[in-house]
């Protein structure tokens, strides 16, 4: 019942965003900047909220809000506010998945995406999760929901996700700052480099995901083997100690 109510609320809000024209609002840089300007002293809170929403409501493009952070607040402050918003949004998505479980996640994340990353649900693989957040082209917002079903603690998730997202946040924020100061040459160079990195990541994405999957499973098996060996040695030592006591 609780899951049904939440689904109706989220579904209703998504429908409202579509029919009210808010989708066009979220995808327009000019409209978002004008909106933030209209908030006056609450502009920072408004921007952080936009970053939260673009994670929780995954279809909202994060590239737009990331560029706006640099355009409005500059490179340093923009990175700070963007990171705060992205971290809060990631935590909300992670927490929703942890509280309401897989049936909830499957209503908002395509099952094919969940299957691609199902190996992360069986054991932690913290370093691999960090790489997934770092590589362009990986659906990071969806990943927050999926990881909420796994074994990472909340603190581990926030640290890994926050640091992993930082590279992309820096690129977008610096790009926004270039636009603000009409440094179009530098922005074009940054855009070209970013596009090349993204294309390379997309080109090898499937191979990288398979490699990560095999690496993750192999590491897990090695870890379990070591645990079994240590456990076996511990039992042998206990048996030997008991035998010596009897003698």
Cα 132 off chain centre by = 9
pLDDT along the chain (247 residues), means of 10: 48 50 55 78 88 77 80 91 94 91 84 76 70 77 87 86 88 89 87 79 68 66 67 60 57
Would you put residue 40 in left (φ > 0), alpha (ψ -120 to 50) or beta?
left
Contact 135, 208 (CB under 8 A): yes
- Rounded to whole angstroms, the Cα distance separating 39 from 231 reads 61
The domain locations on the chain are: 2-203, 206-247
pLDDT digits (tens, 9 = 90+) for 70-119: 888 889 999 999 999 999 999 999 999 999 888 888 887 888 888 777 76
Q: Which two tokens stand for residue 171?
A: 């690129």
């Amino acid at each position: 019942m609780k899951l049904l109510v939440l689904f109706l609320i989220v579904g209703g809000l998504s429908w409202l965003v579509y029919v009210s024209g808010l989708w066009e609002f979220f995808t327009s840089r000019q409209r978002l900047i004008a909106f933030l300007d209209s908030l006056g002293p609450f502009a920072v809170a408004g921007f952080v909220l936009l970053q939260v929403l673009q994670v929780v409501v995954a279809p909202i493009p994060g590239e737009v809000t990331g560029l706006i952070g640099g355009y409005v607040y500059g490179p340093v402050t923009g990175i700070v506010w963007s990171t705060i918003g992205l971290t809060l949004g990631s935590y909300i998505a992670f927490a929703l998945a942890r509280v309401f479980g897989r049936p909830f996640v499957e209503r908002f994340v395509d099952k094919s995406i969940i299957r691609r990353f199902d190996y992360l649900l069986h054991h932690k693989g913290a370093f691999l999760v960090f790489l997934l957040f770092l590589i362009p082209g990986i659906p990071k917002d969806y990943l927050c929901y999926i990881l909420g079903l796994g074994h990472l603690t909340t603190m581990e998730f926030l640290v890994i996700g926050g640091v992993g997202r930082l590279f992309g946040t820096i690129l977008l924020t610096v790009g926004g700052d270039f636009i603000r100061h009409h440094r179009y040459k530098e922005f074009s160079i940054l855009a070209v480099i970013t596009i090349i990195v993204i294309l390379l990541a997309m080109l090898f994405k499937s191979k990288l995901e398979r490699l990560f999957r095999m690496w993750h499973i192999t590491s897990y098996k090695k870890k379990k083997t070591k645990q079994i060996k240590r456990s076996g040695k511990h039992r042998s030592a206990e048996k030997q100690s008991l035998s010596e006591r009897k003698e």
